[in-house]
Amino acid sequence: MTTERIILAFSGGLDTSYCVLALKDQGFEVHTAFVDTGGVTPEHKQWIADRARALGAAEHHELDAGPALWEQFVVPLLWSGARMLEQYPMLCSDRYVIVQRCLELADRLGTKRFAHGCTGMGNDQLRFDQSVRSLGDYVIHAPIRELQRETSNVRAHELELMAEAGVEVPASSSKYSINENLLGVTLSGQEIDRFEAPADDTRVWCRPRAEWPDGAAEWTIGFEAGRAVTLNGEALDGPVMLDRLNREVGAWGVGRHLYTGDVSIGLKGRIVFECPGVDALMAAHKALTECVQTRLQNQFAHTIAARWAELVYTGFFFEPHKADLEAYLESANRFITGTVRLATEGGALLAVAVDSPYTLSDPDAVYAQSASWTPEEAEGFVKLIGQSSTLAAKVRRS
């Protein structure tokens, strides 16, 4: 037994609520830390704080990480256009700034012990554990992972313990595992895990067809060197812009996805996720990038995006190789400056207009309309660029 302090990354959900009780039972002085990465109302933050105290936390800490999440993740995400398996924009990446803030708190409180609520089956344990090891010399505690040594039905055990402790568990928490932050909201469990159609109550931000507003909507996003800086002509901090887009774009049903990914330890993980703001920013940045960058830059973007996504998704957020990739991405985005107009009539979002001083356009050469070269030059180009294929066909004819 010990009375040593320990920092617990705390969301108020079923898993981290169990962790408070388990760590107290081991004799620790539990300090819960809710790292605010957005997507949570003031009322819910108060609920999280009240819940931590009701569970017996020695002290509850609320730490802001919205700006850090924007700078450290959203900015390079837009630079890269990366999505895991070209689908999932790594909404789980708030874990990395959560670890940073929790370890800073640990240093202030004079402890080297850090706890999280990850299971032994998913990728989050890699994100938390590897980040901790990359950032310093700390002792990692994972009560849920430890519980899995004792029972194969973790959720039932947690619910039973909560009931014994007189702690109420919200109905949604007992049915789904829900993660919500500035980037988006993800849900797993129940019919989602069974590869069945998600139920209606899995909708959080993205409204169903019957609730879409009438008519159509537009948003104009301004970029400077690849950074989103204005929304409809108004200069906004990144987290404020993303929060507004989440609410406004999500009202039109845009941003809802169903994704099956490969967990690093060999399982298939299926989630519903909603990220209307991220989808809007990525669509706008992609449209601007396609107009500004050269053919070779655009081709290479797919390669670097896949590598960056892999590192972020699998827990290597603080890997030096990732920093190397971002040095290239920052350079490649030097001229990604301009505005993009997005439009929707519900369900889907299109980048309908792009304006940039760096668009690679020639007034004397318009696709399928006019050219600044002669037909003879075009014919010679076509012949030479296909020369290798022509020769292969010739020498291989039987």
Q: What is the 3-state secondary structure (H, E, C) of 201-252?
A: HHCCCCCCHHHCCCCCEEEEEEEECCEEEEECCEECCHHHHHHHHHHHHHCC
Instruction: Measure Cα distances from 50 to 44, 72, 157, 168, 250 in Å.
Output: 10, 30, 23, 12, 30
From residue 318, alpha-carbon distances to 112, 113, 131 in Å are 19, 20, 7
Q: H or E stretch including 64?
A: strand 59-64
* Residue 132 CB contacts under 8 Å (≥ 6 apart), including other chains: 99, 103, 114, 138, 140
Of 292, 248, 245, the closest CA to residue 74 belongs to 245
Note whether 5-76+93-176 and 185-293+335-355 share their fold.
Answer: no
Surface-to-core class of residue 183, CB atoms within 10 Å of its CB (0-12 exposed, 13-18 middle, 19+ buried): buried
- For 185-293+335-355, CATH gives 3.90.1260.10
Write down the residue that tokens 């089956």 correspond to.
121
pTM over 0.95: no
Q: Are 61 and 32 in contact (CB under 8 A)?
A: yes
Structure tokens at 259: 């994704």
pLDDT at 14: 86
Q: Note whether 5 and 113 are within 8 A (CB).
A: yes
**Which pLDDT does position 123 carry in this prediction?**
86
CATH for 5-76+93-176 (3.20.20.450, 3.40.50.620, 3.40.50.300, 3.10.129.10): 3.40.50.620
User: For residue 294, is it left (φ>0), alpha (ψ between -120 and 50) or beta?
Assistant: beta
**77, 52 in Cβ contact below 8 A?**
no
Predicted local distance difference test score (pLDDT) of residue 368: 64
* pLDDT computed for residue 167 by the predictor: 76
Q: How far apart are CA 251 and CA 305, in angstroms?
A: 29
Q: Kindly give, in sequence order, each residue whose CB lies less than 8 Å from that of residue 90, ignoring residues fewer than 6 positions away.
A: 73, 77, 82, 83, 84, 309, 312, 313
3-state helix, strand, coil in the chain (%, to 5): 45, 20, 35
Q: Are 28 and 113 in contact (CB under 8 A)?
A: yes
User: How far is 65 from 142, CA to CA, in rounded Å?
Assistant: 22
Residue ranges of domains in the chain = 5-76+93-176, 185-293+335-355, 362-398
Instruction: Note the pLDDT of residue 172.
Output: 56
Averages of pLDDT over each 10 residues, the chain, 398 residues: 87 91 95 93 94 96 96 98 96 96 98 94 91 98 89 75 74 74 93 94 95 97 98 97 97 97 83 97 98 96 97 96 98 98 97 97 74 86 93 88
